[in-house]
Amino acid sequence: MPPDKTVIGLDIGSNTISCCKMKKTLSGINIINDISLPVRLSEGLRPGGPLLESAIKRALDGLREIDFLFDFAGSQINIAGTAVLRMASNPMDFTFPAEKITGSKINIISGEDEALFTGKGALHELEAGDSPVILDIGGQSTEISTVDKNGIWRAVSMPLGVVSIKEQFLLSPCPESSEIENASFYVKQILDEFFNFNTGKELICVGGTPTTLAMLHSSLNSWSRDRVHGEILNIETVKKWLGIMCQITPETRIEKYGLRPMRADVFPAGLIVLFQIMKYIDTKYVKVSANGLRVGLALSILD
């Protein structure tokens, strides 16, 4: 590929649409623009059920906003649809008009492929040890991948998402102890069924849950990739903020801590998933990656 060519990776997520533009030059590959917009395309979705018209409209509006900022027509683009489109009975109600906006096909990828792209993206410009475990806590699914010292990847996708957990278990504005216990038990059940990786390895986490947590931990009032990417958090920090967030309403999470509306209501669910996974694999620390699927998609064009 000629130097200085730009590419775009676009992740159609269940709760968020994320997009990055990357440039390959003689000195390396750099992220030159990056955005995540909460749109909750999976609002009210159940496996095999339809996408809501209001959610589709919200997501399409988000895509138009991203197109204005990124100019889809000016770069080669790789677009992936995730769990929300795998689950829905009417994915074309979204993909058909969305492809008109992007000018490119939306590939609805498998959960395993999603985990692999995410893992490769997460490690971009991140120091990591041998055989890290990469965790992506999404809106309707959670992906885990790992790579060994020989470069062999393994991946799994689990039906475990912050939107589904919130809608199924955390029904109170301030989740009650019984709701938290039921959600935690559900997470452990899913892990027992799907998790088959060796423990004791470095845990790296991507997505809105760990990046929001890193911002809170560092008292950041605005997004800072340099401060968030590579931040190391311990399990007590996760537990502390889970306790704080479950004692206040989503409105207070927005007003007091600056969370975005479509992150504020599902943030406790994400912290429950992260906390339970850290306990399950017996690790005290998690490293935050500001990258993820969108970066992996862009990098795949450059391979």
Tell me the average pLDDT across 3-13. 90
Range 5-111 has CATH code 3.30.565.10: no
- Residues of each domain in the chain carrying CATH 3.30.420.150: 126-288
- How confident is the prediction for the chain on average, in pLDDT? 94
Kindly tell me if the per-residue pLDDT of 200 is higher than 70: no
User: What pLDDT does residue 211 have?
Assistant: 97
Kindly tell me if the per-residue pLDDT of 278 is higher than 90: yes
Kindly tell me if the per-residue pLDDT of 4 is higher than 80: no
Tell me the average pLDDT across 130-153. 90
Range 126-288 has CATH code 3.40.640.10: no
User: Per residue in 160-189, is it b (16+ CB within 10 Å) or e — as a string?
Assistant: bbbbbbbbebbeeeebeeebbebbbebbee
Kindly tell me if the per-residue pLDDT of 281 is higher than 80: yes
User: What pLDDT does residue 237 have?
Assistant: 98
DSSP state of 298: H
What would the pLDDT profile of 20-39 be if each residue is shown by its tens digit? Answer: 999 998 888 999 999 999 99
- Residues of each domain in the chain carrying CATH 3.30.420.40: 5-111
Tell me the average pLDDT across 62-80. 95
User: What pLDDT does residue 3 have?
Assistant: 58
Which residue did the predictor score with more confidence, 2 or 74?
Answer: 74
What would the pLDDT profile of 203-247 be if each residue is shown by its tens digit? Answer: 999 999 999 999 999 999 899 999 999 999 999 999 999 999 999
User: What pLDDT does residue 2 have?
Assistant: 55
Joined tokens for residue 158: 């689990």
User: What pLDDT does residue 199 have?
Assistant: 61
Local confidence band at 276 (pLDDT 50, 70, 90 cut-offs): very high
Joined tokens for residue 118: 């995410």
Local confidence band at 1 (pLDDT 50, 70, 90 cut-offs): very low
Distance separating alpha carbons of residues 64 and 102, to the nearest angstrom: 8
Q: Could you tell me if 17 and 10 are in contact, meaning their C-beta atoms sit under 8 angstroms apart?
A: yes
